[in-house]
Structure 1
């Protein structure tokens, strides 16, 4: 399953050159990813933390650009999963963002394994190719 949101850059997102600042790409990905995860794992959503982020920058984003940010699950581990966000304009892929999120145990001291229901929900999304706007 691929979920999609639309984002319009704000002037405060820009660097002195007039491009969206590199750190803002993480904010755009976070917005899309959090809506996606909350929709599929609402009870675990509040217990998840990002443990790794990586960004590949492909094309600059400017203030007038209208963005589409997609979210998909790439990999599922025992206590974590990897999401991929693609940030695009109508004409360019601007960035690919990968985040690994872990789910914490009740006292938030360490990661816990996915429950059977959580894993089933994640695996269902990993295996389908459907697009579903949020």
Structure 2
């Protein structure tokens, strides 16, 4: 299964060249990730931190009023980290492929923690190992 986030484009996202600034895509990925990990009835209530981002820019995204789709899924689950893979796209255009390594974190102790069984169960619903091969291409 995949999670879809409809990301609004803001006027301030545009750079001097008339397209969405590459640095803004990190914020778009963050918005999609928070939307995915923060439903009221879901896991990761203790929090998480980003350990790594990898972004491949495929095409310029020109500013417009319509939102852009961010499709995300899980490509790896380890004991204390997992990888979210994203595509920022429209129906006929791919703008960005990206991946983020996320580490569950206990803010009380200020330490990384292991993924709980409930969190693992949630992540497994969105796992798609075969899609990881397409992202690497």
Alignment TM-score, normalising by the size of structure 2: 0.82
Residue 94 of structure 1: aligned partner: 95
Mapped to 2, the partners of 1:47 and 1:114 lie a distance apart of 11
Residues 55 and 116 (structure 1), Cα distance of their counterparts in 2 relative to 1, 3 Å cut: same
Residue 82 of structure 1: aligned partner: 83
Aligned length: 129
C-alpha distance after superposition, 1:2-33 (max 9, x if no partner): 01122232221011101100111111111111
Matches within 5 A, 1:60-79: 60-64=60-64, 66-79=67-80
Mapped to 1, the partners of 2:109 and 2:55 lie a distance apart of 27
Mapped to 1, the partners of 2:101 and 2:2 lie a distance apart of 17
Residues 106 and 15 (structure 1), Cα distance of their counterparts in 2 relative to 1, 3 Å cut: closer
CA contact (8 A) 2:55 2:98 kept: yes
C-alpha distance after superposition, 1:38-79 (max 9, x if no partner): 239834244201111110000000112641111111110110
Mapped to 1, the partners of 2:107 and 2:57 lie a distance apart of 36
Residue 53 of structure 2: aligned partner: 53
Residue 112 of structure 1: aligned partner: 113
Give structure 1 regions of 4+ aligned residues with deviation exceeding 4 angstroms.
Answer: none
Gaps of 5+ in 2: 130-137
CA contact (8 A) 2:14 2:21 kept: yes
Gaps of 5+ in 1: 129-134
Structure showing greater relative contact order (alpha-carbon pairs closer than 8 Å, 6 or more residues apart): 1
Alignment TM-score, normalising by the size of structure 1: 0.84
Residue 32 of structure 1: aligned partner: 32
